[in-house]
Amino acid sequence: MNKKSVAMMNAARAYSLEDVRVEEMPLPQLEPGDIRVQVSVCGVCSSDAMDWYVSRKVPVVLGHEPVGIVHEVTPEVGDLDVGDRVFFHHHVPCLTCRLCQRGLYTSCRRFRETSLDPGGFAEFVRVPAEIVRVDVLKLPDEVSDEAGAFIEPLACSLRAFGKIDLLPGVSVWVIGAGPMGLLNVRLARYLGAEPIVVTDPVAIRREYAEGIGADVALDPGAADFDEKMSEATGGWGAEKVIVMPGAVDAIEHGLAHAAPGGVVLVYTPTPPEATVAYRPHDLYFKEVTITHSYSAGPIETRDALDLLASGEFEVEDLITHRFGLDGVGEALRMAKTHDDSLRAVIYPHGLGVEVKAI
């Protein structure tokens, strides 16, 4: 094919977290079973801004929380049509291996091998056949594009909450009140947890947490922290601890204040070389469990969509910033610290441009 005849599109390609360039690239071409989606909006995740993770992948088009309009389908695609408004996942399991049979979809070897082409911070994305078969969901009218951009993050939270068996009336401690921490505070409230304690060193984030349903928001560095934590949990410590930052000190802090019989859930990966020191003696006699939750599978994405469609769970108010592709660098800077923002979303076709079927 004459190269010049290949249609082009724009995408934001990261060469590092500090160097993101909007570049032209060929419109991704489809293989049998694939679809191409015109991206309406894509959320920016803190994990897009983890140095150790991004430095392994650069140059890369990030963005894994997208929704869009189906732009082209191949004949092998059954139940999707051009013009459908969809969420599409960036990873899917094989559904047949031993791990998948046990429901450990995100541990499936195929899961991390599957991906979008190129990524959500692009005008168009090729969704490979394997993903089309397992985790592309049509959006009902009651789920807006911006709410749809929360399907992936909310699915991750639903998976995490499933792992810690969150029943009404248990105490929850969310360490870190960034946008995902706040989403988890809201989910804990929705599921009936009580009390909900949040810790964050940044005062404005503690205020957000209280505004969103936390009973107590504490500064983890305060001199009277131990006393306050004990007071907030009736002297028991927190029964379910959700550690948001992928940081050793946060995990250690969680382990130190978990209640007897409590669970400490590590929500975000640490850098590969990080190690956590703990005293088995203490955890043994308190029977404290440490567990992890990685990403979300096709069951949780459907559950997340259902929850959003129910109208009982608000998410769009967590969006504080909206950018076109030229704002991806700024959005990643914000996502790295969340000192001055909650969630940012990217509109690859530009702010105010209505994306509709072409």
Q: Which is nearer to Zn ion, 63 or 329 (CB)?
A: 63
CB 109, min distance to Zn ion, A: 7
Q: Which is nearer to Zn ion, 36 or 90 (CB)?
A: 90
The residue from 45, 60, 251, 307 that contacts Zn ion (CB under 5 A) is 45
SS3 125: strand
How far is 185 from 170, CA to CA, in rounded Å? 13
CB 281, min distance to Zn ion, A: 36
Binding mask 319-358 for Zn ion (x = CB under 5 A): ----------------------------------------
Q: How many residues bind Zn ion (CB under 5 A)?
A: 7
Order the strands of the 216-218 sheet from edge to edge.
216-218, 196-199, 172-175, 238-243, 258-266, 289-292
The residue from 25, 27, 80, 97 that contacts Zn ion (CB under 5 A) is 97
Using CA atoms, how far residue 63 sits from 48, 66, 181, 213, in Å, is 7, 7, 19, 29
Please report whether residue 93 would count as binding Zn ion according to CB under 5 A: yes
Please report whether residue 299 would count as binding Zn ion according to CB under 5 A: no
Q: Which is nearer to Zn ion, 93 or 298 (CB)?
A: 93
Q: Which is nearer to Zn ion, 258 or 334 (CB)?
A: 334
How far is 191 from 187, CA to CA, in rounded Å? 6
Region binding Zn ion by CB under 5 A among candidate stretches 44-52, 128-136, 196-204, 237-245: 44-52
The residue from 9, 30, 42, 108 that contacts Zn ion (CB under 5 A) is 108
CB 302, min distance to Zn ion, A: 17
Please report whether residue 237 would count as binding Zn ion according to CB under 5 A: no
Which neighbouring-strand residues pair with 242?
A: 174, 265
Q: Which is nearer to Zn ion, 179 or 327 (CB)?
A: 179
Task: State the first-to-last Cα distance of the chain, in angstroms, to the nearest integer.
Answer: 23
Region binding Zn ion by CB under 5 A among candidate stretches 19-27, 50-58, 107-115, 125-133: 107-115
For residue 189, give the amino acid letter: R
Q: Where are the alpha helices (DSSP H) in the chain?
A: 51-57, 98-101, 109-113, 129-134, 145-148, 151-164, 179-190, 203-212, 225-232, 248-257, 280-286, 298-309, 328-337
Please report whether residue 94 would count as binding Zn ion according to CB under 5 A: yes
Q: Which is nearer to Zn ion, 152 or 239 (CB)?
A: 152
Please report whether residue 100 would count as binding Zn ion according to CB under 5 A: yes
How far is 13 from 48, CA to CA, in rounded Å? 12
Region binding Zn ion by CB under 5 A among candidate stretches 37-45, 84-92, 118-126, 296-304: 37-45
Region binding Zn ion by CB under 5 A among candidate stretches 43-51, 114-122, 244-252, 265-273: 43-51
Contacts by residues 16-19 (CB-CB < 8 Å, ≥ 24 positions apart)? 16/54, 16/55, 16/58, 17/49, 17/51, 17/54, 17/332, 17/333, 17/336, 18/329, 19/329
Q: Which is nearer to Zn ion, 86 or 335 (CB)?
A: 335
Handedness of CA 28, 33, 36, 42 (dihedral sign): negative
Contacts with Zn ion by CB under 5 A lie at 45, 47, 93-94, 97, 100, 108
